[in-house]
Chain A
């Protein structure tokens, strides 16, 4: 169980994390989602006491993490897989971790096997691939058999096999009743992985709901795609009906707020030819973009604007 309450972090003028409050429940994989720079890593670092919050607090298993005598037994984390002394072997890195908690050497070899690091564990970390560093980081997170796990973008840069492996791992950990918080900036990584989503943008909470709820909540905002030679005339008429209209190139309009029937009727009234008319269901990625759209700090230049202002 992780409890985040009013967590805020400012770096000078930048508010990286802005009054975040949410819980992460045990027995589930909670996806922590947001565009790059949304504040995911900063939040995780504050939960672990690495960065000091400007205000607010976070509890891990009911207690502030930085006060724990045996923190690795409460929570394990993979934040930055590269953050290991390059001159030490993977196994020695794990031995140091074990020694801080009086964990026996047997357990070190156990987690090395569990993550499949094998004989590479005795080589220096300097020569590890990203995938091997991720595995070492995960072994470190698991060594204290903790009830809470935090993984910051663990799939970043991994090949498909690596991604599948992480999916199975986090599913297994959650099924054992552990609390799993898994961050990503890609909605696609959450499909088949997360049971619950905490979505943030610009440091603020955007959604805290089950995966299905997020899908359904946005599914109601269906869109209608219509192709016509008279885009301006049809767009004007639809805007007067209260619809939101986006041009979508090639003589097409993307219409929100009215049904396909209404679009067809309006076209008939205006005596405008319609060459295509279809309802569109949002894709997972689209839902995510819609949710976080306002929060993305750097938009791609030339993004579509409204045809006309209401």
Chain B
């Protein structure tokens, strides 16, 4: 792998940037691998990378039906934070946060991780009680967090309407300074390039259409490009996880919903942090290019259509304009949707399944981008050792029958 550096950039200008090496190969599928990862989103690619890097398992294929990162990974609003309420989820997301902090160096790829702080607003007394409880819980878990007053909020975000006359006045906020945003497609590409360099085969345009199962044990997958064998298969397919589980003959407690986002025309720098409001339901940040990135809520119905409904866009923009009257005349450039796999307790599933050798990493729903490095890291461990990583253990699929749910609903500020 050609390492990226300032010196390399200067060198390539001499040849008009025409001689950059391709970032990864485009191999033909082999007949057999040690591990197959189904789904080439950020989580799947990170899993493959850590399998190779931390466990020396390099005979790995990532099987992706479309293009790398073309699922939710490059459709999200890129918010990264770790201020979850419960110990189990806080530990998992904070594990990811620590990996984010060194990720660009580790991958030799600029993922543009920007720790510009994330603010979760409270508009009611109950919001404020929940915020205080969550910030206290975070600090007990060694995760940075503060409760801000409206005056402090106004100082950080001067353009926000913090007046008492707002329809839903802002009473305070939680603030995680180490949180922020990262460039989502760079995350997929960075993991892909690093995994490829360690020998992982990235198979794009390859759709898994079934599993090869004998005596309750998986030994490969059927694809549109022929069968591929492996004794260990990890599925990381977000909104399509339920469909894959169906092919393997069991059910998952997931429902797939459209979730949408939109970006505005580029503006001069005006918002240098991330603002989220659960109550009026909207969240916003500004990219380095200048676009405002705005996220909506899910559409309430199940859907696989990768587009969202207009009433949802309208409600989101009402919320944004309520908080930021200054944006009322900004024009929106693009709008799109992803299919998120929501779980009843708003927590992921990182788990073995009724089929031996077949593991699922799914259920991240509306908020899994922030977990990408941590999810890949603990899932790789789980696949390599055929045993749940301690951070993954509470997220086993058994919890829906034992009742040991990790109920992050509402507790986490806002869904994303």
Is A bound to B? no
Which residues on B are within 8 Å of A, measured CB to CB? none
Which residues on A are within 8 Å of B, measured CB to CB? none
